[in-house]
Amino acid sequence: MIFLKDLIREAVSRLGAEVPYVELEVPRDEKFGDISTPVAMTLARPLRRAPRQIAEEIAGSLEEDPAIQSVDVAGPGFLNFRISTDFLLKELERVLRHGPDCLVPEPPERRKVQIEFVSANPTGPLHLGHGRGAAVGAALANLLQRGGYEVEKEFYINDAGRQVRLLGESIYARYQERFGKEYPFPEDGYKGDYISELAGRIAEEVGEKYIGISFDEAGGFFIERGTREMLDTIRTDLETFGVVFDRWQSEKLLYTEGLVKKCLDGLRSEGKLYEKDGALWFRASDYGDDKDRVVVKSDGSHTYFASDIAYHWYKIQRGFDELIDIWGADHHGYIPRMKAVIRALGEDEGKLSVILVQMVSLLRGGKPVQMSKRSGEFITLREVIEEVGADTTKFIFLTRKADSHLEFDIEVAKKESSENPVYYVQYAYARIQSIYRKAAEQGIGLEDIPFDAIMYLKEPEEMRLLKKILLYPLIFEGAFRAREPHRITFYLQELAGLFHPYYNTHRVLSDDAGLTGARLLLLRAVELVLREALSVLGISAPERM
C-alpha cells in the first residue's frame, strides 16, 4: 500500500505543488475503498483552489495506473482508492519471494542511534516499572534497527554516590546484626529481605572479619560487593525478560577515568560554569532551563547532574546522531536541564529525545497491590515474569503508548483466554504452524507450491487479509517515525482478528489442490508478517500452544 505515497506525490508535483508528506489512511468503512488520502484538502489553501477540484485532477492522473482499480473523490475532497486484485496478488508474490525485508521501507539516512533505558539503581531487584521501560526500550531498539538504523542499547549504572553507599551501609548493618552487634540501621536504608540474605552470605564467607571495623573503613567492601550482586541480579532478571544490553556504562568509571573532570574543565574554560557560594554552577538558564544548576557542591562533592552531563557528553563523543533516553515519568522535570546540557555542548537539542514511561499500577483481581519501597515490600519484575510469563508481560506493556498510565492486573494477565490479547496473536501463529504440519502429513510441501497458485485466491476474506498484510509497511513506517512500538501491537491484533475468522469460515486444506496451495501461500505471508512484527516487539512466535 505504501507505494501509493510515491504515486500521489508524483501526481501532486504534476500540479506544481508539494506536500511535506503524503498521509494515507484506511477508511473506517470499506465502501470508501481500500485506502484514502486527504492531500487534496491540505493543498486547497496553498493552491487557492477548491479541494474537490484538486482531488479530481489527482484522480484523473492516477486512474490509469495498473495498480489502481478505481479512484473516487468523496466528501470534502478525499481520494478513495481501490487497489486492483492483480496488483495485490503481485505484491503477495513479492512478499513471498523476498521475505520480511521487503516489508520495511529504507530510511532516508542511515543513523547511529543510542538508546539508554532501565538504568535502575543497583540497590535492589527490578520492579514492574523498570520492566515497562525495558520492554519499551528494547522494542524501540528493534524497531529502529529493523528500519535500518545502527542502534546501541545501553544501561547506565548509578554506582557512585549516596544510593550505593546507602546500600553498602544497609548490608553492613545487617551483617553486624548477624553477630549480635548493634549498628543503627541507616535512615532511608534498604530494608528488603534481599539485603539480609546477602548479609548472611557475606557473614558465612568472611566470618567476623569486619566486626569491630567501622563502616568508614569497611564500607568499600560492602558497597562494591553489594552493587556487584545487585547488578548481577538485574542483569539476569533482564535476560529472563528477554532484554539484553549492548553496553553497561558505569558512572563510577566516568570519574575514575577522568571523563567528568575533562568534560567539566571544558565547559568551565568556555565560561559555561561559574563559582558561587563555594559551589560550581552550570549556566543552565542560558540554555533554556529555569535556573542554573549545581554540579559541584560547596563540600566539594559532585551532584548526580555532574556525571549526567559528562555521561551525555561522552555519548556525543562516541559519535551518535541521535540519543534517546527512556526515563520514568517522575523524572520529567529533569528534561529542560538535560536539553540545556546538549545545547551547551554545541549540539542541536533535538539530538536528544527523552521518552517518558508512565507509572504502572499493579492490581490483583481488580484490587491495588501496595508497593512500598521503604518497607522493602514490593512485587519484583522477576515475580511477575514467573507468575504471568515474559511474553504476556511485554505485550501488556506494549499495548499502551509509553506516556499513559498502565494498569497491570496480574489475575487478568494470567488468564489464558480472550481477555489476554497476546494469546490471540500468538495463537494465530501457532494455528498456521499446525496447518503446515497437517499439510505435511498429507504430503504437501510448502516449498513445492508454485507462486502462481495465488491466482485462486478470490474470497473477500482473503483479499481483506492480503490488504492487511500489505498495510504492514505503512504501520511500521508510522511506528518508526513516531518512535511508538505500541502501534505494531495494535496492528498485530487486527491482523490476527482477520485471520481467525478466515480460518473459521474457509478450509485451507481441501481436495482442490490449486486452492489449497493458494491458501497455504496466503498463510505463509500472514505467518511472515506475524513473525516479523512479533520479533520487533521481542515476543516469541510459538510453534504450538
Partner RNA sequence: GCCCCCUUAGCUCAGUAGGAUAGAGCACAGGAUUCCUAAUCCUGGUGUCAGAGGUUCGAAUCCUCUAGGGGGCACCA
Angle at CA 537, nearest 5°, toward 481 and 328? 75
> Measured from the CB atom, is 22 or 203 closer to RNA?
22
Examine residue 26 and tell whether it contacts RNA (CB under 7 A): yes
In the numeric block, which cell numbers belong to residue 349?
A: 537539542
| Residue 376: closest CA among 118, 121, 125 | 125
> Measured from the CB atom, is 211 or 463 closer to RNA?
463
Residue 256, by phi and psi: left (phi above 0), alpha (psi -120 to 50) or beta? Answer: alpha
Examine residue 48 and tell whether it contacts RNA (CB under 7 A): no
> Measured from the CB atom, is 115 or 157 closer to RNA?
157
Examine residue 33 and tell whether it contacts RNA (CB under 7 A): yes
Examine residue 298 and tell whether it contacts RNA (CB under 7 A): yes
Examine residue 430 and tell whether it contacts RNA (CB under 7 A): yes
Alpha carbon of residue 334 to chain centroid: 21
What does each C-alpha distance from 292 to 181, 325, 342 come to in angstroms?
Answer: 45, 22, 15
Please select the residue that binds RNA; options are 15, 253, 359, 463, rule is CB under 7 A: 359
In the numeric block, which cell numbers belong to residue 358?
A: 508512565
Examine residue 21 and tell whether it contacts RNA (CB under 7 A): yes
Report, in Å, the least distance between residue 223 CB and RNA. Answer: 12
Q: Are 432 and 438 in contact (CB under 8 A)?
A: no
What does each C-alpha distance from 436 to 116, 266, 466, 519 come to in angstroms?
Answer: 41, 63, 19, 11
Please select the residue that binds RNA; options are 98, 162, 181, 374, rule is CB under 7 A: 162
**CA dihedral in degrees (100, 104, 105, 108; nearest 10)?**
-120
Residues 115-134 that bind RNA (CB under 7 A): 121
> Measured from the CB atom, is 207 or 278 closer to RNA?
278
* Interface segment toward RNA; rule CB under 7 A; list 194-202, 209-217, 256-264, 426-434: 426-434
What does each C-alpha distance from 115 to 245, 304, 326, 351 come to in angstroms?
Answer: 10, 20, 7, 12
What single-letter DSSP state applies at residue 107? Answer: P
Report, in Å, the least distance between residue 267 CB and RNA. Answer: 17
Report, in Å, the least distance between residue 215 CB and RNA. Answer: 17
Residues 272-291 that bind RNA (CB under 7 A): 276-279, 291
Report, in Å, the least distance between residue 92 CB and RNA. Answer: 19
Strand partners, 152: 114
Report, in Å, the least distance between residue 27 CB and RNA. Answer: 4
Examine residue 153 and tell whether it contacts RNA (CB under 7 A): no
Report, in Å, the least distance between residue 51 CB and RNA. Answer: 7
Examine residue 545 and tell whether it contacts RNA (CB under 7 A): yes
Please select the residue that binds RNA; options are 503, 514, 531, 535, rule is CB under 7 A: 503
* Interface segment toward RNA; rule CB under 7 A; list 104-112, 132-140, 376-384, 411-419: 411-419
Angle at CA 118, nearest 5°, toward 112 and 120? 135
Report, in Å, the least distance between residue 18 CB and RNA. Answer: 13
> Measured from the CB atom, is 44 or 203 closer to RNA?
44
Task: Say whether 383 sits in a helix, a strand or coil.
Answer: helix
The DSSP H or E segment spanning 157 is strand 150-157
Report, in Å, the least distance between residue 209 CB and RNA. Answer: 28
Report, in Å, the least distance between residue 325 CB and RNA. Answer: 12
> Measured from the CB atom, is 203 or 527 closer to RNA?
527
Examine residue 427 and tell whether it contacts RNA (CB under 7 A): yes
Residues 462-501 that bind RNA (CB under 7 A): 475, 478, 481-482, 484, 486-487, 490, 493, 497, 500-501
Report, in Å, the least distance between residue 403 CB and RNA. Answer: 5
Residues 6+ apart with CB under 8 A from 255: 160, 261, 302, 307
| Burial (CB count <10 Å: 0-12, 13-18, 19+), residue 290 | exposed
In the numeric block, which cell numbers belong to residue 307?
A: 556525571
Residue 482, Cβ neighbours under 10 Å: how many?
11
Q: Site for RNA (CB under 7 A): how many residues?
A: 94
